[in-house]
């Protein structure tokens, strides 16, 4: 990875890329070290060539789709990558599971990756990174101008808590019920350079920040700016990183649809000369907390911050405004957090673990 990116990378509008973090699990559904075998010691299927990586823990593995030029093809690419990963894992004696946090993951019992990048992070960040067993969904949408990408990322911030509320799929951490719908949201926020970013005036302001963080030794590379949304100066995209990991590919595609349509809509608004909303980060943080705590039952501050609206109301508003139906598919179904609690209570932890496996 290059330490910094460039404004020159922002050349394509409307491309898609989907990154997913998964858990490598054993026959009992428990997270286990497996990334050495799957990433380095065996040859993955061709579709995963160059699109498979490990994360901080040896039980977490990441996939990336190729660049998707037509959003209608997103489902085929997503499923082909997932199917290949499951086949690759099974051929090496593992299974794959997905959630924002795995309910059986106990960080003190799990191995960290030995990659120098992660060793440096562990040394610099210490406890918050040592316990970071999180897994998320990241959606990239190409933007053809760097200043436009920064403006779009600024405007996307208000939408992130709604995405998190609808994706909430991590009630358990380190073996206990946190009382939260997305404990991942809080565990990950303990790291530096995470959560809701402030707004940047333009790409020059963002690039100055990125370079200053590098020059002062605050980060080792641009990839360590882990905010919930960011202009990705390496790929030339706006990257949304808010949702919890999901086992169901249809849920992932609902978020992909929403992020894509939001970015395209906001890009058009930028080109029309629309003024951005200079929302204070503190209000956005409040919305994120409400999403973390209450998930789909949250009441979120409205876009003008004058009142609160239920997740259901916001789903209706956003679906009608953008002409999409994926958000309703998310809202009308039992949330991931609710399903996890129900299964654990009714059928036990093994049934819960089985429910998170990819088929």
Tell me the per-residue pLDDT of 249-278, one tens digit each, with 9 for 90 and over.
Answer: 999 999 999 999 999 999 999 999 999 888
Residue 148 lies in a domain: yes
Question: Domain residues for 118?
Answer: 7-355
CATH number at residue 14: 3.30.590.20
Position 164 scores a pLDDT of 98
Number of domains making up the chain = 1
- pLDDT-based confidence at residue 192 (cuts at 50, 70, 90): very high
User: Does the pLDDT value for residue 174 go beyond 80?
Assistant: yes
- pLDDT-based confidence at residue 57 (cuts at 50, 70, 90): very high
The residues, ordered by sequence, that sit 6+ positions from 272 with a Cβ below 8 Å of its Cβ are: none
Residue 1 lies in a domain: no
In tens, the pLDDT along 30-55 reads 999 999 999 999 999 999 999 999 99
Taking the C-alpha atoms of residue 355 and residue 102, their distance in angstroms, rounded to an integer, is 11
Residue 2 lies in a domain: no
HEC profile for the chain? CCCCCCHHHCCCCCCEEEEEEEEEECCCCCECCCHHHHHHHCCCCHHHCCCEEECCECCEEEEECCCECCHHHHHHHHHHHHHHHHHHHHHCCCEEECCCECCCCCHHHCCECCCHHHHHHHHHHCHHHHCCCECEEEEEEECCCHHHHHHHHHHHHHHHHHHHHHHCCECEECCEECCCCEHHHHHHHCCCCEECCCCCCCHHHHHHHHHHHHHCCCCCCHHHCEECEEEECCCCEEEECCCECCCCHHHHHHHHHHHHHHHHHHHHHHHCCCCCCCCCHHHHHHHHHHHHHHHHHCEEECCCCCCEEEHHHHHHHHHHHHCCCHHHHHHCCCCHHHHHHHHHHHHCHHHHHHHCECC
Position 3 scores a pLDDT of 61
Residue 167 lies in a domain: yes
Residue 78 lies in a domain: yes
Position 278 scores a pLDDT of 84
Q: How many beta carbons lie within 10 A of that of residue 155, not counting itself?
A: 24
User: What's the pTM value of the predicted model, to 2 decimals?
Assistant: 0.96
Strands 172-173 and 176-177 come out as antiparallel
Residues 211-240, mean pLDDT to the nearest whole number: 95
User: Does the pLDDT value for residue 1 go beyond 60?
Assistant: no
Position 306 scores a pLDDT of 93
The residues, ordered by sequence, that sit 6+ positions from 129 with a Cβ below 8 Å of its Cβ are: 56, 121, 122, 191
Q: What percent of the chain has pLDDT over 90?
A: 95
- pLDDT-based confidence at residue 359 (cuts at 50, 70, 90): confident
Residue 101 lies in a domain: yes
Residues 8-28, mean pLDDT to the nearest whole number: 97
User: Does the pLDDT value for residue 5 go beyond 80?
Assistant: no
């Amino acid at each position: 990875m290059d330490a910094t990116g460039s404004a020159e990378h922002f050349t394509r509008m409307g491309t898609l890329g989907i990154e997913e973090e998964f858990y490598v699990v054993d026959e009992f559904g428990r997270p286990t070290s497996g990334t050495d075998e799957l990433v380095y010691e065996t040859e993955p299927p061709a579709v995963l060539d160059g699109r498979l990586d490990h994360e901080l823990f040896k039980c977490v593995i990441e996939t990336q789709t190729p660049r998707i030029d037509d959003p209608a093809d997103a489902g085929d690419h997503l499923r082909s990558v997932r199917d290949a990963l499951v086949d690759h894992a099974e051929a090496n004696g593992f299974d794959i599971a997905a959630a924002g946090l795995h309910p059986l993951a106990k960080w003190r019992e799990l191995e960290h990756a030995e990659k120098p990048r992660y060793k440096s992070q562990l040394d610099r960040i210490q406890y918050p990174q040592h316990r970071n067993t999180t897994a998320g969904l990241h959606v990239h949408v190409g933007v053809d101008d760097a200043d436009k990408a920064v403006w779009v990322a600024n405007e996307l911030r208000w939408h992130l808590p709604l995405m998190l509320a609808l994706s909430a799929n991590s009630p358990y951490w380190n073996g206990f019920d946190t009382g939260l719908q997305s404990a991942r949201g809080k565990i990950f926020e303990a790291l530096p350079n995470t959560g809701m970013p402030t707004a940047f005036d333009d790409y020059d302001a963002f690039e100055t920040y990125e370079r200053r963080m590098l020059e002062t030794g605050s980060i080792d590379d641009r990839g360590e700016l882990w905010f919930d949304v960011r202009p990705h100066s390496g790929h030339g995209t706006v990257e949304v990183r808010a949702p919890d990991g999901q086992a169901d590919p249809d849920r992932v595609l609902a978020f992909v649809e929403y992020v894509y349509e939001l970015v395209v809509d906001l890009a058009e608004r930028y080109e029309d000369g629309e003024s951005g909303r200079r929302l204070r980060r503190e209000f956005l943080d409040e919305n994120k907390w409400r999403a973390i705590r209450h998930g789909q039952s949250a009441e979120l501050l409205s876009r003008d911050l004058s009142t609160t609206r239920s997740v259901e109301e916001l789903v209706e508003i956003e679906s009608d405004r953008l002409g999409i139906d994926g958000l309703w598919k998310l809202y009308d179904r039992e949330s991931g957090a609710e399903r996890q609690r129900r299964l654990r209570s009714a059928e036990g932890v093994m049934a819960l673990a089985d429910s998170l496996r990819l088929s």
